[in-house]
Structure 1
Amino acid sequence: MAVSGDGPVGIIAGGQDLPFEVVDALKESGRDYFLFGIVGEADTRIEEHPHLWLKWGEIGLLFKTIEQMVIGELLCIGSIRARPDFRSIRLDFGAVKALPAILKIMAAGGDEGVLQGVARFMEKRGVRLVSVPEVASRLVVGPDLSVGASLAEANEDDIALAARAAGIIGALDAGQGVVVAAGRIVALEGPEGTDQMLERVFRIREEKRARWSYGKQGLLLKRARPGQDLRFDMPTIGPRTIENARRAGLAGIICAEGEVLCANRQQSLAMAKEAGLFLQARKLDDVAL
């Protein structure tokens, strides 16, 4: 299977708004696109665009459409609420033919190994996987993401600790986020994701299981794992993150500049400002681990 790089960008779309923000960026740059909506995950708004609905396991249909549409670049974006139950997936004929390669990928162990295997699998079929920074760089946080700078400056020690902790757990392929308050690591992100971690922080505070003064205190820090392939699972924040941080009693959010996506940026900034939270992008490359 050989495809041209001159065709539309294929977008494998999970849930929430980011797939549509990528579409807007591609439209502005004059690029064509085609959406593959994951059944049970993607928003029905994809039906307003060139699209195809895909069930887990329909790999043959995916590649048939890629070839028909002359898609040479493919982007994976959007939330996945739950990993699929592989026992319930019905493989189409294309997937059955590719099963030996798929099983080899799944045996790689660890998310990074599996994702790199997926990239090689696609590239052997003439499709280059691309990252959001390559096709929609405006979604990546930079210096313009800044609300409550003076509030952030009052939390420099906690920011430094959170950056180190996030780098360490990232190196272990364990998560992309950390909550720190008053010089103490309150929560490390695991497979549950950021929203559930912040719910855990809310319960910790409500149950008074951590030393925590009244009022807003502490912060969430998000950064990519060291050496992370940004084509996959790029750290993301958005309005839901802002609301959950506010509910958890945090003082703000720090994102690693160039490593994190911000969904609905203007709404996120407005919500942070209204809630009295700081929201900033910082260069974290020089933080010692």
Structure 2
Amino acid sequence: MGEPGRGPVGIVAGGQDLPFEVVDALKAQGRDYFMFGLVGEADVRIEFHPHIWLKWGEVGQFFRLLELHGISELLCIGSISHRPDFKSIKLDFGAVKILPDIFKILSGGGDEGVLQGLARFFEKRGLQLVSVKDVAPSLVVGPELCVGAGLSDALKRDVDLASRAALAVGALDAGQGVVVAAGRILALEGPEGTDQMLERVTRIRHEKRARWDFGKEGLLLKRARPGQDLRFDMPTIGPRTIENVREAGLSGIICAQGEVLCANRARTIELVRENGLFLQARSFTDIQL
């Protein structure tokens, strides 16, 4: 493998825009890259970049290409809409040789255990797994993000409640988001993801199982799980998040500084302003349960 920071960055690309925003950031730095598009997940736009399409299970092909292109830094980025059905995956010869390692990784417990096992697996083979913060820090929410009006005292109390709830649910390796309105926890994110959680909140509002002042109360808080390895599954917001927050009748979003990605930032901020919402970054380092 090449020397870290010198060769191209390998990008294992899932869906949506973030893989291409990372590419733009790498180009601005003069860094080379090579994209591994996951079949059924990655956007067809990778056809305009140095790339190859890979199916789940083509591990041997993957490592051959890493060696061929001198890749020693690897970034996993983009959405995965469907977890692979390991019973139906056809393994290539390279994957068959490492089956004991794969089974050991998959038996690592929750998501965090599996991801940590995956990190160790790659590191033993000379690869450095990097995060978006390492190669494209401009995509990470920082203290400069502050869009919309200041928060009322009631919303500030909701932020405090949401931050403690997010810390609790995150400690259980369960999710990265919480919705609170009028002093009440409405939803905790589970494996369905943020968008589906917000759809649940919309149904709660339509069915009048909870009441809050439409567009003036309620918020979504996004933060990483305690101790989360930010090289994997970093919490993300984007234009669709804003649309779903508005549809749910909430007033805005709070993100933890340094822990959340903002995809398509210009359009995201534009939608926040168009809908009269707020989008703010906060530090939660001192929050306790």
TM-score by shorter chain over 0.5: yes
Aligned equivalent of 1:48: 48
Aligned equivalent of 1:196: 196
Superposed displacement of residue 82, structure 1: 1.1
Aligned-partner Cα distance in 1 for 2:261–2:149 = 19
5+ residue gaps, structure 2, are none
Kept in 1: contact 2:145–2:279 (CA 8 A): yes
Kept in 2: contact 1:141–1:259 (CA 8 A): yes
Moved >2 Å (runs of 4+): 2-6, 151-154, 211-216
Superposed displacement of residue 213, structure 1: 3.4
Aligned equivalent of 2:239: 239
Aligned equivalent of 2:261: 261
Aligned equivalent of 1:63: 63
Aligned equivalent of 2:288: 288
Aligned-partner Cα distance in 1 for 2:108–2:2 = 27
1:121 aligns with 2:124: no
Aligned equivalent of 1:4: 3
1:103 aligns with 2:91: no
Superposed displacement of residue 216, structure 1: 3.5
Aligned equivalent of 1:210: 210
Distance 1:162 1:126, change over 3 A: same
Aligned equivalent of 1:134: 134
Q: Which amino acid aligns with 2:129?
A: L
Aligned-partner Cα distance in 2 for 1:190–1:275 = 27
5+ residue gaps, structure 1, are none
Kept in 2: contact 1:223–1:256 (CA 8 A): yes
TM-score (norm 2): 0.97
Query: Which 10-residue stretch deviates more, 137-146 or 205-214?
Result: 205-214
Question: RMSD between aligned alpha carbons?
Answer: 1.1
* Residue-pair matches, total: 288
Aligned-partner Cα distance in 2 for 1:258–1:102 = 31
User: For residues 87-110 of structure 1, what are the alpha-carbon distances to aligned partners after superposition, in whole Å with 9 as ceiling and x for unaligned?
Assistant: 211001100001000001111111
Superposed displacement of residue 174, structure 1: 0.5
Aligned-partner Cα distance in 2 for 1:45–1:24 = 13
Aligned equivalent of 1:92: 92
Aligned-partner Cα distance in 1 for 2:223–2:77 = 17
Structure 1 residue matching 2:255: 3-state secondary structure: strand
Q: Which amino acid aligns with 1:232?
A: F
Superposed displacement of residue 4, structure 1: 3.1
Kept in 1: contact 2:154–2:182 (CA 8 A): no
TM-score (norm 1): 0.97
